[in-house]
Amino acid sequence: MSEIIKVKSGSKYEDLNSYSRLVVAGDMIFVSNTAGRNYKTRAIASDARGQAEQAFRNIEGALAAVDASLADVVAIRVFVPDIADMEAVGEVVGRKFRGIDPANTTTCTPLGQPELKVEFEVTAYRRRSDEAEKRISVDLS
């Protein structure tokens, strides 16, 4: 039977809306939509780049709690309300995932609070040490 682990990070919304920051189900790790708010101090940057950086710190902390890291991420979903912030957010995502190259879905969509400029949701896979990564290039023209 696969183990299920649920991790809370201290966001008041995890209790209010009854969800976990991260859930491990067997080898799969699911990280809930994560904003760029410091969940201890409640501070939030006024710009998308600063929020993206903090959101990644939040995600990295949640992954570390279950002995995983960004290197284990296989998919990211990026939610940005203002298209003008896409370049700044994309730069942060590109830097964080350089060489990891997960699947990526990025969309412009409203978020739950007006001060939020970005949220990320990631899925990770706990790779066994004997599992090699295979990379393939295709021509989709």
| Overall size of the chain counted in residues | 141
User: pTM surpassing 0.85?
Assistant: yes
Please report, as a single letter, which amino acid is at residue 140.
L
pLDDT digits (tens, 9 = 90+) for 53-86: 999 999 999 999 999 999 999 999 999 999 999 9
pLDDT digits (tens, 9 = 90+) for 32-47: 999 999 988 999 999 9
Q: What is the pLDDT of residue 116?
A: 97
Neighbour-count burial of 114, counting CB atoms closer than 10 A to its CB (0-12 exposed, 13-18 middle, 19+ buried): exposed
Please report, as a single letter, which amino acid is at residue 100.
I
pLDDT digits (tens, 9 = 90+) for 79-130: 999 999 999 999 999 999 999 999 999 999 999 999 999 999 999 998 766 6
The CATH architecture of the domain made up of 4-125 is 2-Layer Sandwich (3.30)
DSSP 17-62: TT--SEEEETTEEEEEEEESB-TTT--B-SSHHHHHHHHHHHHHHH
